[in-house]
Amino acid sequence: NGRTLRALYAPCQVKRFFPGWDRLQVTKVALNLVNAVQMLARHRVLVNDFNPNNFLIDKQGKVTLIDCDSFQIPSSRGGVNITKTYFASHVAPELLKDKSKLNCPRNIHHVEFGTALTVFQILMCGLHPYNYYDPSHKSACGTPDENLLKGRCPLGKGSGCRIPQGGWFNLWSYLTGTLKGAFISTFRKEEGHSTPAKRVDLDRLEM
């Protein structure tokens, strides 16, 4: 039962599908999602496909994962059962740059990237961390998929691009400094985008 994560991608939809909810309930959904991915990872089960349609939310904020054939699961014969499934706007950039890596087992840094991106969208009402506008052109530049591949992220100082105008900046300002730092370290080209080990781990994202 439930609605997909896309139901949280606009305040009007939250009011429609989850009447009475405020930011606290939305934040709990993000925490529940992290806990679910974290629990699976402890058992060496890795979520590969972070398509928002693969996560359902009920009216209590519980998150259910569906379409689970995209999970990477340990094999009873040793090794892992690999799947090549991914969602282009939510996948680690090294997999987009070199599709041959999809033939190899995923690792926890791939999961950290997809989880952090999904949590960002929950807390930012659907805004993608690689969605930006160029102040010199006053317009959006490229699709999130294209920007993710290039590492064009508007978060943090000196990025050369900005979070889209409107209420997005207010949402960003509401986040704690620790959470902002976690997103910056995961998505910026100079950090987690190009160096997977710099991505926020699931334990720190939970906090």
Task: Give pTM, 2 decimals.
Answer: 0.93
Query: What is the rounded distance in angstroms from the CA atom of residue 43 to the CA atom of residue 21?
Result: 33
Burial class of 178 by CB neighbour count within 10 A (0 to 12, 13 to 18, 19+) = exposed
**What count of other Cβ atoms lies within 10 Å of the Cβ of residue 123?**
20
Residue 172 has pLDDT above 80, yes or no: yes
133, pLDDT greater than 80: no
Of the candidates 118, 129, 126, which has an alpha carbon nearest to the alpha carbon of residue 30? 118
d(CA 72, CA 68): 9
Phi, psi of 55 (to 5 degrees): -125, 125
- pLDDT bracket for residue 82 (50, 70, 90): confident
Q: What pLDDT, on the 0 to 100 scale, is given for residue 137?
A: 63
Residue 139: what pLDDT?
58
DSSP category for residue 150: H
Start-end of H helices in 60-200: 93-97, 108-123, 144-150, 168-174, 177-187
Q: What's the pLDDT tens digit per position in 19-28?
A: 999 999 999 9
Q: What is the pLDDT of residue 135?
A: 65
* Distance separating alpha carbons of residues 182 and 43, to the nearest angstrom: 24
* Confidence band for 16, pLDDT divided at 50, 70 and 90: very high
Q: Which helix (H) or strand (E) holds 39?
A: helix 23-42
Query: Which is more confidently placed, 43 or 136?
Result: 43
Give per-residue pLDDT as tens, 27-77: 999 999 999 999 999 999 999 999 999 999 999 999 999 988 899 999 888
Say how far apart CA 160 and CA 154 lie, in whole Å: 7
Give bridge partners of residue 47 from the DSSP assignment.
71
